[in-house]
Amino acid sequence: MTEQQRAVALTWVARRFPVVPCSKTNKGALVPGFGREASPEEMRPFSDPETVRSWWTGRYRRDHVGLLTGRGGPDGRGLLVIDCDMPKADTEPLTGRWADCCGGTDVLELLAREAGAEWPDTYSVLTPSGGLHLYYRQPEDGPLIGCATGAGGNVQRPRPPHLGPLVDVRGVGGYVIAAGSYSAAQGRPYERVSAPDVLPQPLPGWLLERLRPAAAPAAPAPRPAAVRVLPTASRTDRYAAAALTGAAEDVAGAQEGERNRRLFAAARRLGELQDTAPAVLDETTVREQLLGAALASGQSEREALRTIRSGWERGLSGRGAGAA
């Protein structure tokens, strides 16, 4: 058994996946330091062949081989494993949406049917208790997926990354017992049941949607309020206020391809008018109004500020040009 466990551990390390010794009685990790926030330095021993060889030659020679998920691999993003459990003897029967499900594989199969998808075929491992581990690659873009348990049995609409009762998710900071590792308590190994040429596959789209919460729609940037002046203000001040409000509305409604040009033109025009109504068209007010409008149209703050400054300075420098 010692040679078998050591061979399994070194095989996974050769594939560039980190491993950890786990208790042969309760499967708990026996070496700490691989949590979600672990640094590359803290993770190094779990992928070092000599360290791993010493673990399964000495103190941990008869223990399970735990395969760390969400770490390592050729692309560095690691694995995500869907762990379909069998219910324990004292588990309450599932109800409602899950009433016809006898185990985690039934739950996952139901979710696939609801999504109009086929059973997610990938590298698969049968556990000694009759459960099933489905191995996938972490998604190439976006945040890595963490861990979740199938606890909470009869919750009908679990929140991501929870999938449903009797289905655990093992991602960043988690681990599963590797294929080939032997359970002395149950007298059986963790056995690969997928075809020899089947590797961990990319996550199917429907499964990724359930594992990642939907991004909340970005709140639209507020448009600046119209600039108002007292009815007793001079005609020139009232004209300047209307010009500023109109310029902001024009910028906010600009379509892609026109946004920067309109913003520059608005800032330049207001700069040209500045000395006719300095109490209304001060630089801070103009910048705030035009920036709010630019953000509402979809421009970046950095680019918008640069364009406003350029247009404003051009307008100031061109005041009075051509006067007699």
| Same-domain check for residues 51 and 175 | yes
| Same-domain check for residues 90 and 149 | yes
Domain that holds residue 247: 235-317
| Same-domain check for residues 241 and 195 | no
Tens-place pLDDT, residues 228-242? 666 667 888 889 899
Q: Angle formed by the axes of helices 301-317 and 259-273, to 10°?
A: 40
Mean pLDDT of 132-149: 92
Question: 69: which DSSP letter?
Answer: S
**How far is it, in rounded angstroms, from Cα 149 to Cα 290?**
49
Any domain includes 274: yes
| Same-domain check for residues 167 and 240 | no
Tens-place pLDDT, residues 11-53? 999 999 999 999 988 899 999 999 888 889 999 999 999 999 9
Tens-place pLDDT, residues 103-120? 999 999 999 999 999 888
pLDDT band at 223 (very low <50, low <70, confident <90, very high): low
Any domain includes 260: yes
Overall residue count recorded for the chain in this entry:
324
**How far is it, in rounded angstroms, from Cα 323 to Cα 61?**
93
| Same-domain check for residues 177 and 257 | no
Any domain includes 323: no
Any domain includes 120: yes
As a whole number of angstroms, the longest Cα–Cα distance in the chain is 102
Whole-prediction pTM value? 0.65
**Number of domains, the chain:** 2
- Please classify residue 287 by burial: count the beta carbons closer than 10 Å to its beta carbon, then call 0-12 exposed, 13-18 middle and 19+ buried: middle
| Same-domain check for residues 51 and 98 | yes
| Same-domain check for residues 109 and 257 | no
Any domain includes 306: yes
